[in-house]
Structure 1
Amino acid sequence: MTCETEEAAFQRGLAELLERFDRTVATDAPEPYAGAGVDHPLEHTTRIHLLNALAELLGWQLGLGGNMAEEARLKNGTTAFMDYLGVATETNAPVLLIEAKAWDKPFITPQAKGANTSYNPADLIAQAVEHWRGGGTRTNSPAAADWHDYVEQVGKYVKGLWDVHQHPLPRAVITSGQWLVVFTKPMATFINAWPASAEDIKIFRKPDFRTGALELYSLLSKASLCVETPYYIRATQVRNYTTPEAVVDCFHALHVSYEASGSPVFIRRPRILVYPALVLQRNDGALLTVLERSDPLELSYQRGIDDLELALEPHFGEVAAAAEALLTRTGEQLGLELQPSALDDFPGYPINTNVDRVKSKSLIKRHAIEPDVWVLITGQATHFLKPAPDVACGYHRWSACHAAGEAIGTTAVSMPQIARPRSFFTDDQPHHCAHQGLKDRREGRCQIPLIDERLCCKSCLFAPVCWPGAQQTPLPCGTT
């Protein structure tokens, strides 16, 4: 669907939505039940029947897995809940805040009785913001007391998102459904500029929603606020998303798919498929994943090679060859000789602070829908695994860990498992770790626990990122 078509669809959808909603608030609207009567919608009703639908028309997805959260929590001294918070999928950064008010909440008016009724609403809102920023109270605000509260509420959200998380919010809205105020530059209005400018405040009244539909779309739609790249592009598509001059860096990567293999009648085993990928960093910070349809390369020890420290070499060779071919094809499309950079140079994907408690950088991009599909940055290397651990260590064996009082669980992992634990490699294999103390310490810092939560850190490319600097010293690896 083209941008023009999306805008036209929004115009039609908005007109139909307003018509449906108007019928529910008309004096002759059907009663909720016999004898209940018809009253003004409450804030919750306005949100459910009007604002939720409006957000979806603007391209936002509500609910589980969506990009617009409801009652999003913000901790800044006290805990507050933002009615709607739209985020950019790639960065998870907030881009749109909507604060909802009840349908019958009046539009802004001056505080003083008998004040001039010819005031400019945008000017009055700007004055109310200045009053709040200057430490003024609701009793002497130039605007009605409720509007001082609205300004303070949104201002604290904008400031909190910046102070706590360093998120510069691009757009903020206050609306009752009958009126809608857009702060087009909330950082300037509530934090940076002085005085606040009425030029950065756009006002829409309900009778103007239809005629102002295109402007509303340009201000609040996901398409306008989130210029996002696809999950992946083909090498022949790179010129559609960047120019050679805009490419500032590139990194080898892997597209990884984790599967439960085998009949459900029996115990299912993990199967890991990898596809070489390339990530280009654009000069605006965007990360483009280049990936081409190809046969998957299955991660496994090569049968017939008794020395397991050599048994992954055939797999590594296949991956490296495919990765170099993709690098060459992509470079040819751009007219560049691409040279992948090291992991240290990768800027990192967004970190989930609830899960990634001690990570300094995330090298993993999760698929938005599929739970066991990722892109893993490998930098100058072409695989996240090493052929063998960096040090000789006895803690690949559960029995050695048990003897040291550090065994995980009551028995060894004798077969690959998809859960409890998720372990692809097994006891006594060089890529397996059975040490409880190490398992405890890696929680929250491991990049790939959903691939193998018992992977030996010394056999993983990401070890220097997970265990930076002096944090490597106390590890038990190689002490037995």
Structure 2
Amino acid sequence: MLAAFKRAIEALVFQAEQNEGLDAPVGFAGEVNAPTLEHNVRKTFLNQLLTALGWTLEQNVEEEARVKGDTTLFLDYLGVHLETRVPLLIFEAKAWDKPFVSEATAAGGRQRPETLIARALNHIKSEEEGPAPVIGEWMAWLSKLRDYVRDLKNQSEHLVSRVAISSGQWLVIFTDPNAAFLESADVDSATILAFPSEAFVRESDQIFGHISYGQLVAHVPSPLRTTQLRGFISANAVRRVFRALWTRWASSGSAGVLDTFPQILVYPAVVLERADGVFLHVSESRFGRQFVPAEATALRDHLDAVRRGSNELLEAVFAELQMRFDVSDLADFRGFPALQLRGSNFGLVPQPAHQRVQFIRPWPDRADEFLLVTGAASHFLLEEPTVDPCVGHNWGTCQQAGQQAGGRPIVSASVDPRSFFTSGERHHCAHRVIHDRRRGSCYVAAFETYLCCRACIFQQTCWPTERGALPCGSAA
């Protein structure tokens, strides 16, 4: 990747020299050659630079990102984590002929650009009176970058990892935005990197190492094996640990002889929340592959087996990280990132102001496989419903009350609708009111649509008290 970036930056620099030279091609007859404006610098140079660094416009780069502070600010480029949308990189563009940093006067002798920028930032932060150490344009740009970093942190609650500013002829990278722009202490010039264009190729490893997407966000495979963990997280970077289940739904049997039935396969899993908000998923088949049993009498043994595998997996995680952690409850899980739609949202139903926490994540590469966070519990199923007896368990009883779901009882495990448990079993619910009210909100509906809500660990999450009384436990 570094070699590919070096080739790309070499080609970009060569093309820029051609475009900005005296013999540069003109766009129309009679056009007068002039330095490239900021808009065209972005189009002909910086867009390609960011692409070579692993960023993708409209996916993990927001252009003209709006940040509200004392006024509304517009960031030329804002690089974000593709999944969590956490801000990572502020990249400011300038026109081609904008000057590299230089002293406001020649009295101080020749100083390195990094030293000059550090002095200017100290001048801004201390609100010193008297002459500025660098030319006025740079004082204004540095003040604006400070506003960007501060206001973006206030709005997103995240501090960007890097800040960069470039005209195409030069590039400056701030490797510690907190120290450069927010802390009151003096800025260390060693945290600032300044490159003229003639050094871009020679210093390409430094540029790539600091502001490429791959260096700011290490791609985390999913799932991870326990022995891979230390390549992506250290013990002191673990924010929370949750139990989870890797779940696979499948249709089995034979459609030819009208004998299809569902199978639900589960593997113990662990989800770790890293300090930067990234979720890591650990799961291995050696800790148990269990089919949810069709017979209710075998459910206790199944739950015990999954619990043992979950405990063994947790112990393996703790051993690998050489530290033990408390397992957090469901209430502490902030949710998998919501799907970010590309393009315009024009004409779409507006998103609710407060979106539900997403405890389930479909596997991107295959249908009917899911990662389901279960918190401190090792399974989404309870051995017994928390409400029993209940009219909802039996379709016939619900029909007598005029509240049956569907046109007929489910008497055997069904593929369509997806109902693993059957009418009359305590884990089955055939009550129309429950089905109507949980539509679109049930976390396990992708593989079980008739599960009794009171036999599921998500019952308190799905049915908070403010949603009103339910018919659960009623006799009619």
Fold in common (TM above 0.5): yes
The aligned runs of 1:7-156 (5 Å cut-off) are 7-33=2-28, 36=31, 38-64=33-59, 67-76=60-69, 78-88=71-81, 91-109=84-102, 118=110, 120-133=112-125, 143-156=134-147
* CA spacing shift, 1:57–1:342, aligned 2, 3 Å: same
* In 2: Cα distance, 1:124 partner to 1:323 partner: 56
Query: How much has 1:40 moved relative to structure 2?
Result: 3.2
Partner of 2:472: 478
* In 2: Cα distance, 1:123 partner to 1:396 partner: 74
Superposed CA RMSD in Å reads 5.5
Deviation per CA, 1:214-263: give whole Å up to 9, x if none.
22222222343334532222345456667899989754312246789999
Query: How much has 1:15 moved relative to structure 2?
Result: 1.6
Residues 165 and 171, structure 2, Cα contact 8 Å, conserved in 1: yes
Q: Greater shift after overlay, 374-383 or 395-404? A: 395-404
Partner of 1:343: 329
Secondary structure of 2:428's counterpart equals coil
* CA spacing shift, 1:216–1:390, aligned 2, 3 Å: same
> Which ranges of structure 2 fall in alignment gaps of 5 or more residues?
256-260, 341-350
* CA spacing shift, 1:455–1:433, aligned 2, 3 Å: farther
Deviation per CA, 1:381-423: give whole Å up to 9, x if none.
3322435643356678999999999999x999999889xxxx8
* In 1: Cα distance, 2:95 partner to 2:404 partner: 59
Residues 398 and 411, structure 1, Cα contact 8 Å, conserved in 2: no
The aligned runs of 1:14-413 (5 Å cut-off) are 14-33=9-28, 36=31, 38-64=33-59, 67-76=60-69, 78-88=71-81, 91-109=84-102, 118=110, 120-133=112-125, 143-227=134-218, 229-235=220-226, 237-238=228-229, 251-256=242-247, 274-279=266-271, 288-292=280-284, 302=294, 323=310, 330=316, 334=320, 341-343=327-329, 348=334, 358=354, 363-364=359-360, 374-386=370-382, 389-391=385-387
* CA spacing shift, 1:185–1:193, aligned 2, 3 Å: farther
Query: How much has 1:154 moved relative to structure 2?
Result: 1.8
**Aligned AA for 2:121?**
V
* CA spacing shift, 1:37–1:336, aligned 2, 3 Å: closer
* In 1: Cα distance, 2:321 partner to 2:268 partner: 21
* In 2: Cα distance, 1:128 partner to 1:405 partner: 77
Residues 433 and 455, structure 1, Cα contact 8 Å, conserved in 2: no
* In 2: Cα distance, 1:77 partner to 1:395 partner: 56
* In 1: Cα distance, 2:144 partner to 2:384 partner: 56
Number of residue pairs the alignment of both structures matches: 452
Q: What percent identity do the matched residue pairs reach?
A: 31
Secondary structure of 1:278's counterpart equals strand
Residues 185 and 200, structure 1, Cα contact 8 Å, conserved in 2: yes
* CA spacing shift, 1:324–1:124, aligned 2, 3 Å: closer
**Aligned AA for 1:430?**
H
Residues 90 and 228, structure 1, Cα contact 8 Å, conserved in 2: no
Partner of 2:346: none
**Aligned AA for 1:74?**
V
* In 2: Cα distance, 1:136 partner to 1:40 partner: 35
Residues 178 and 206, structure 1, Cα contact 8 Å, conserved in 2: yes
Residues 35 and 97, structure 2, Cα contact 8 Å, conserved in 1: yes
**Aligned AA for 2:160?**
L
Residues 104 and 135, structure 2, Cα contact 8 Å, conserved in 1: yes
Secondary structure of 2:77's counterpart equals strand
**Aligned AA for 1:278?**
V
Partner of 1:460: 456
Query: How much has 1:180 moved relative to structure 2?
Result: 1.1
**Aligned AA for 1:254?**
L
**Aligned AA for 1:53?**
Q
Residues 388 and 431, structure 1, Cα contact 8 Å, conserved in 2: no
Residues 386 and 461, structure 1, Cα contact 8 Å, conserved in 2: yes
Q: Greater shift after overlay, 69-78 or 151-160? A: 69-78
* CA spacing shift, 1:353–1:240, aligned 2, 3 Å: closer
Query: How much has 1:202 moved relative to structure 2?
Result: 1.9
Greater CA radius of gyration, 1 or 2?
A: 2
> Which ranges of structure 1 fall in alignment gaps of 5 or more residues?
1-5, 264-268
Query: How much has 1:156 moved relative to structure 2?
Result: 1.7
Residues 252 and 377, structure 1, Cα contact 8 Å, conserved in 2: yes
Residues 425 and 431, structure 1, Cα contact 8 Å, conserved in 2: no
Residues 413 and 426, structure 1, Cα contact 8 Å, conserved in 2: no
- TM-score for both structures, normalised by structure 1: 0.69
* In 2: Cα distance, 1:228 partner to 1:347 partner: 22
Secondary structure of 1:289's counterpart equals strand
